Every structure is written in C-alpha cells, then in structure tokens.
Amino acid sequence: MTTYDTYKPTGIDWLGEIPAGWRAVALKYVVETKITDGPHETPEFVEEGVPFVSAEAVKEGRINFNYRRGNIKPDVDALYAKKCKPKRGDIFIVKSGSTTGKIALVDFDDDFNIWSPLALVRVKPEHSSAFIFYALSSEYFQKNIQLSWSFGTQPNIGMNVLENLRVVLPGEGEQTAIAAYLDDKTAKIDTLIDRKRRLIDLLREEKATLINEAVTKGINPDVPMKPSGIEWLGDIPAHWNLKKLRYVVLKVGSGVTPSGGASVYKTEGIPLLRSQNIHFDGLRLDDVAYITEEVDESMRNSRVQAGDVLINITGASIGRCYFIPDGFGPGKEAAR
C-alpha cells in the first residue's frame, strides 16, 4: 500500500488523521441519487416472480437470495421500481432492526427489489462503488452509524441521518486501486476462513460425538451394558439408571421478558441473558443486555446462580444450552 508524506486532522475524534490529499465528506455528496429505501407496505408473495429481499438477505457483504422474503409479481415490482430499483454497483445499508449498519454490494445483474429496512446508496460514476462499499463497511463508518442511530425496541437510523455521515474519500484512481487491493486481500482471507470453518465443523461433530458417548455409554469400554428401552439411545452401562429430568433437578422454569421489553435495557447493571447469549461452547456476553436493580427485583423468580443450566426453548437456537459458571455474579434470564 502507498505511504503518505503528510496527514491532516479530520476533526472527528475517533477517526484521527487522514492523508493530506484525501477528503472527509458527507455521504450525500458521493451519491448519484438521494438515498432511498424500498416500500413500507408488505407485498403479496407469489410462488414465482421477482425476488424481494430485506435485511436478513444481507450476508457477508452481499445479497443472498436464499434469505429473501419471497417473490413478488412483475407488475408489483414495476410499481415499486418507481421509488427504488436496485442494479449492479448499488450499495445497501440496513437501517433498522438488530443488524442496523450491515452493508451489501450488488455484484450481479439479476432482477430483484427491496423492502423498507434497506437503504439504497447509488454512487456517482466518478467514484468507485467497491471503494465506497469498503468505506461504509469499515470500523470508522460503522462506529459513526452506532453513534447516530436512535433506539426504540431496536436500533434504527434515518436516511437523512445517513446522508450526512462522513466518508473518507481519496482521488478516483486511488479509490480503484484501494478497492482492487482489498478485493484481493479479503478474497484470500475468506478462503482461509472457509477452510477454518470446515475444520471447526468437523471438530464440533467430534466434540458432540465425544460428549454423547461419554454421557450415554461412559468412559469404560469394558463395562457390562443393558438395553435402555429407548430405540435411539440404545444400550447404557448396566449399573446406570434412566430417569426423567424432573427427578434429578431442583427446579425447571423459564425466563421472563421484563416489563417494557428492550426499552428498559441499559449499558451496565445486572446482565439479562437471552437466547443469543447461550451457546454450547459458553456464554457469549459481547451483546448482553443489562437491567437495573429495580427491574431485577421485579424478575427475582428468574434469577440464575452458579451451576444452573440454561437451555433455549424457542426459536432457531432451540436446544442450545450451557451452564452458569462460578463467579458469574447476579443475573437474570429472559424469556426464550
């Protein structure tokens, strides 16, 4: 990459200095047309037609039709196209919901349309769409989004706010060179990630098999066995017992949703464990919600303590479980 002799301050504390020949400009000065979104109504979906996508179709920087909401009739697509019709080179920003800020670049020519949670950014011809995509995906711009969004039940950011967020802009030729450099480097990294994922999947399968064998057959391969009476379980050690869970636990209960829902969440306080925090390999607390002591007291029947086992009982992660480790401190479990 190019090195630069001189730098200048951006005036943005968390961004710092940029090369002297670069600019930090509002996004509205980079776009060809005013940032817009898809229709706010819910269309009628049909078996075959034009793919209709929303925020969940934004996957790893691209649009994945496997996650589309459905298909819409061509005449409905033509009606929606009067407001917004995506094309190659367009950039989408998720502007509402739990994935607010995620970015996707359209790198294909297939016909499709979008729903209102997506904002369409169409870059001027003199700028590189690929460079702007990387800029909007960068840590500095994502932080800008997080500092600018409003928060109701979920984060959301208006298009008039988005268009005034600043993007760092080198010259046109340098934009193209940087985008090509990042295409090459990120493709190599993605290949390594795919290899690691395959290895991780194999290790997870091995881990699951190991756990299953240990808790159903024991660790002594020579111990006498007996039928369990459960077809899919098979034989168990002859000296083991088979009991319903309720006979070996003190309590089976469920979490509750705090009164007011997400509006009572805080940035610090007592952790409120939700389904996204419970994984087979541990508690993931990077996006844990917090509640006040007052809300905690109103939910005292769902307090967790060291040794408790939490299992997700609804949603896509149903069955995922982990235990509360020693020293976790006071906590609650939300309805799952």
Give the dihedral sign, CA 82/87/89/95.
positive
- Rounded Cα gap, residues 242 and 230, in angstroms: 10
Residue 155: the pLDDT is 87
What pLDDT score was predicted for residue 302?
87
56, containing H or E segment: none
Q: Quick one: pLDDT at residue 336? A: 55
Q: Which domains are present in the chain?
A: 7-170 (3.90.220.20), 189-237 (no CATH), 246-333 (no CATH)
At 92 the pLDDT is 97
**Residue 186 corresponds to which tokens in the numbers above?**
């990120």
pLDDT at residue 60, rounded to an integer: 92
Question: Quick one: pLDDT at residue 195?
Answer: 96
pLDDT digits (tens, 9 = 90+) for 224-262: 999 999 999 999 999 999 999 999 999 898 888 888 877
**DSSP classification of residue 28:** G
Low-confidence ranges of the chain (pLDDT < 50): none
For residue 128, give both structure tokens.
Answer: 């590189």
Question: Pick from 248, 166, 260: which is nearest to 215 by CA?
Answer: 248
Residue 87, C-beta contacts closer than 8 angstroms, at least 6 positions apart: 106, 109
Tens of pLDDT, residues 132-190? 999 999 999 999 999 898 877 678 899 999 999 999 999 989 999 999 999 999 999 99
pLDDT value of residue 334: 62
